[in-house]
Amino acid sequence: MRSPVSWKLGVVAAVVLVTAAVPLDERSTAATGVGPTLRSIGPLAFGPNGVLYAADPEAATIYALELGAQASGGAAGTKDIDGIDQQVAAMLGTDAKEISIADLAVDPKTRNSYLAVMRGQGTGAKPALMRVDGAGKIDIVSLESVKFSSVALPNPPDANPGSNRNPRTQSVMDMAYQGGRLYIAGLSNEEFASKLWAIPYPFASADRGTSVEIFHGSHGRLETRSPVYTFLPYAIGGNPYLIAGYLCTPLVKFPVSDLAPGAKVRGTTIAELGAGNRPIDMILYQKDGKEFLLMSNTSRGVMKLSTDRFATEQGITAPVSGTAGVPYETITSMTGIQQLDLLDSGRAIVIARTGGLPSQLGGQRTPPAALNLHSVVLP
pLDDT tens sequence across 129-142: 999 999 999 999 99
Q: Give the integer Cα–Cα distance in Å for 86 and 221.
A: 43
Nearest to 292 by CA among 328, 325, 337: 328
Domain boundaries, the chain: 9-377
H or E element in which residue 14 lies: helix 9-20
Q: How many CB atoms lie within 10 A of CB 27?
A: 19
pLDDT in tens, 280-319: 999 999 999 999 999 999 999 999 999 999 999 999 999 9
The DSSP secondary structure of 23-51, one letter per residue, reads -GGGSEEEEEEES---S----EEE-STTE
Nearest to 327 by CA among 299, 296, 301, 293: 293
pLDDT in tens, 79-104: 999 999 999 999 999 999 999 999 99
Give the model's pLDDT for residue 208: 94
Give the model's pLDDT for residue 35: 97
Nearest to 305 by CA among 313, 295, 314: 295
Q: Give the integer Cα–Cα distance in Å for 139 and 171.
A: 28
Give the model's pLDDT for residue 79: 98
Nearest to 367 by CA among 348, 351, 353, 347: 353
Q: Tell me 68's DSSP state.
A: G
CA within 13 Å, CB half, 369 = 16
Q: Taking residues 129-157, what's their average pLDDT?
A: 97
- For residues 54 and 61, is the Cβ–Cβ distance under 8 A? no
Q: Is the pLDDT of residue 230 over 60?
A: yes
pLDDT in tens, 23-52: 434 556 799 999 999 999 999 999 998 899
Bond into 202 cis (ω within 30): yes
Residues in Cβ contact with 171 at an 8 Å cutoff, skipping those fewer than 6 apart: 57, 58, 60, 153, 156, 157, 186, 187, 188
Q: Which residue has the higher pLDDT, 367 or 248?
A: 248
Q: Which residue has the higher pLDDT, 122 or 214?
A: 214
Q: Give the integer Cα–Cα distance in Å for 66 and 52.
A: 7
The DSSP secondary structure of 71-85, one letter per residue, reads GTSS-SS---BTTHH
- What number does CATH give the domain 9-377? 2.115.10
- For residues 271 and 324, is the Cβ–Cβ distance under 8 A? yes
- For residues 100 and 126, is the Cβ–Cβ distance under 8 A? no
Give the model's pLDDT for residue 369: 83
Q: Taking residues 202-217, what's their average pLDDT?
A: 97
Q: Give the integer Cα–Cα distance in Å for 344 and 3.
A: 10
Give the model's pLDDT for residue 179: 95
Give the model's pLDDT for residue 366: 53
Give the model's pLDDT for residue 362: 44
Q: Give the integer Cα–Cα distance in Å for 139 and 77.
A: 14
Q: Is the pLDDT of residue 167 over 90?
A: no
Q: Give the integer Cα–Cα distance in Å for 250 and 225.
A: 14
Confidence of residue 117 (pLDDT cuts 50, 70, 90): very high
Give the model's pLDDT for residue 285: 98
pTM for the model stands at 0.90
Q: How many CB atoms lie within 10 A of CB 376?
A: 18
Give the model's pLDDT for residue 161: 77
Q: How many CB atoms lie within 10 A of CB 371?
A: 25
Strand order through the sheet with 279-287: 279-287, 290-297, 303-306, 329-330
Give the model's pLDDT for residue 26: 52
Residues in Cβ contact with 73 at an 8 Å cutoff, skipping those fewer than 6 apart: none
Q: Is the pLDDT of residue 333 over 80?
A: yes
Q: Taking residues 320-339, what's their average pLDDT?
A: 96
Average pLDDT, the chain: 90
Q: Give the integer Cα–Cα distance in Å for 2 and 151.
A: 22
Q: Which residue has the higher pLDDT, 130 or 363?
A: 130
Strand order through the sheet with 51-56: 44-46, 51-56, 61-66, 147-152, 28-34, 205-206
The CA-atom distances, in angstroms, between 27 and each of 47, 149, 154, 207, 280 are 23, 16, 7, 4, 30
Bridge partners (DSSP) of residue 232 are: 243
Confidence of residue 122 (pLDDT cuts 50, 70, 90): confident
CA within 13 Å, CB half, 114 = 28
Give the model's pLDDT for residue 367: 57
